[in-house]
Every structure is written in structure tokens, then in C-alpha cells.
Amino acid sequence: MSQAKLAAGRRAADLVPDRSTLGLGTGSTVRFFLERLAERIRDEGLEVRGVPTSIDTETVARELGIPLVGLDEVDLLDFTVDGADEIDAEYRMIKGGGGALLREKVVASISRREVIVVGRDKVVERLGTTFDLPVEVVPFALPVVARQIARLGGEPRERQAAGGGEYRTDNGNAVLDVHFEGGIEDPEALELTLAATPGVVECGLFLGLADAVVIADDDGTVEVREKG
């Protein structure tokens, strides 16, 4: 078990305000957040309801007794906690290692406060240097999008399911994990280009969405950084 993920997830749960509507991210760090959140609901009577960003998170939240709500009943979210695969000094991120990028970005876009939980190993100088960029693609368009990404200088690889075979997101789409040799030079320009590519549903670049980051070390030390 990663002590850093445990420490970051638990600290974020301690920051959750009472009587709030929450975005519930996805991933192993968020799992620790959910467990601590459930403890607070039980022990302190914390009143919250959450919008899950994946079927996995929905299942875990239900098991833990965290009240859930749908986007049809919610306009804005008070507070979201999510993980990241990389984050840079400007709080720009790569997300989608768990395949939940689309729902995560929708939830981040309506969150008043987006708090990111990571181990220090996720903090990078340049995005794309330690993690390939996930791009969610309509299956029909896979070859077209892959060729377009190659023209942009990326090396796309279709994600496979854990046991082999076809990988599909919760939305029924495929994922291309795209390697950029030397990292991503201009994340803003790349996000715009990908968004304008027919067949691309969403990409894992999360720019200007994080408000704070909870960074933990393996010894359990936690630092909370606010975006200036």
C-alpha cells in the first residue's frame, strides 16, 4: 500500500466542508479519500452528498454508505477531490490513467473548488514526461484519430483491457495512450487541437481546473498547496 496515497487521500477528506455537495474522483488515492469521508459521515455526522466520476467510485461509495446524487439534481458542486497522473507547477495535469477522464472533466468543470490528491512522484516539470496522455475516442474513429495524432508528433497506443482484449471506458469508448517524446511542449494548444478533432471525445489534459493540491510523501508527510 502507498503511504503517500493514503496520507493525501485522508487529508483531503478532512478538508471537506459540512453540508456540501461533492465531486468524487476516481483512482486508488481517491479510494483512501472515500474511506476517510465515510468515517467522518459516521463519526461526526458530516452531511454530504456526492457525484461519482466512474462506476468504480459509485460502487465503492455505495458500499461505504456515502450518499450519492445525480447531475440532474445538481447545478454546481462545492468541492471535488480527484487524483492525477501528473501535475506541474502551474497545476496543469494529465489524468485518465483509470479511464475516467470524461466524467472527471465534466465534474471538475462544475466544481467551485477542485482539490487534487497525489504522491510527490506525480509532480513533474513538464507534462507527458512520465505518463502518456490518455485520449478517449469513439471506437469507429480510432484509426482516423490515431493518424491525426501521429501527424501532431504523438505515438498513440490503443489501451487494452487488464486481462487482454478490448478496453472500453464507462461511456463505451476506446482510449489511446499517446506518448510525446520529451513531453508535451504546449499543453493548451494540444488540448484545443484534440478537442477540434472529430472522433475525440475528451483528452486527459486538465488545464486551469485545479484549485489546490494535496501532496504527500512516502513517510506520510502532507503538504497542501493553494493555487496563487
Ligand X SMILES: O=C(CO)[C@H](O)[C@H](O)COP(=O)(O)O
Asked if 97 is part of the footprint of ligand X (rule: CB under 6 A), the reply reads yes
Asked if 154 is part of the footprint of ligand X (rule: CB under 6 A), the reply reads no
Q: Which of 71, 83, 87 is nearest to 22 (CA)?
A: 71
Distances (CA, A) of 27 to 11, 149, 186, 194, 198: 16, 26, 26, 24, 28
Asked if 128 is part of the footprint of ligand X (rule: CB under 6 A), the reply reads no
Asked if 187 is part of the footprint of ligand X (rule: CB under 6 A), the reply reads no
Torsion of CA 102, 207, 51, 167, to 10 degrees: 30
CB-based burial of residue 28 (10 Å sphere; 0-12 exposed, 13-18 middle, 19+ buried)? Answer: middle
Shortest separation between residue 100's beta carbon and ligand X, angstroms: 4
Q: Which is nearer to ligand X, 30 or 66 (CB)?
A: 30
Asked if 101 is part of the footprint of ligand X (rule: CB under 6 A), the reply reads yes
Residues 12, 30 contacting (CB under 8 angstroms): no
Q: Is 164 annotated as a binding residue?
A: no
Coil/strand/helix, residue 6: helix
Size of the site for ligand X (CB under 6 A): 17
- The CA distance from 174 to 140, in Å, is 9
Q: What angle do CA 48, 50, 51 make, to 5 degrees?
A: 160
Shortest separation between residue 99's beta carbon and ligand X, angstroms: 5
Shortest separation between residue 7's beta carbon and ligand X, angstroms: 13
Q: Pick the binder of ligand X from 92, 95, 105, 159 (CB under 6 A).
A: 95
Q: Taking CB under 6 A as the criterion, which residues in 8-37 touch ligand X?
A: 25-29
Respond yes or no: is residue 181 known to be catalytic.
no
Q: Is 146 annotated as a binding residue?
A: no
**Among 58, 86, 104, 191, the one annotated catalytic:** 104
Here the cell at position 47 is 452531511
Asked if 114 is part of the footprint of ligand X (rule: CB under 6 A), the reply reads no
Shortest separation between residue 115's beta carbon and ligand X, angstroms: 12
Shortest separation between residue 226's beta carbon and ligand X, angstroms: 20
Q: Which is nearer to ligand X, 144 or 168 (CB)?
A: 168
Q: Which of 32, 84, 29, 74 is nearest to 50 (CA)?
A: 74
- The CA distance from 43 to 122, in Å, is 32
Give the residue numbers marked as catalytic.
104
Q: Annotated binding site for substrate: which residue ranges?
A: 26-29, 82-85, 95-98, 122
Residues engaged in binding ligand X (CB under 6 A) = 25-29, 82-85, 95-101, 104
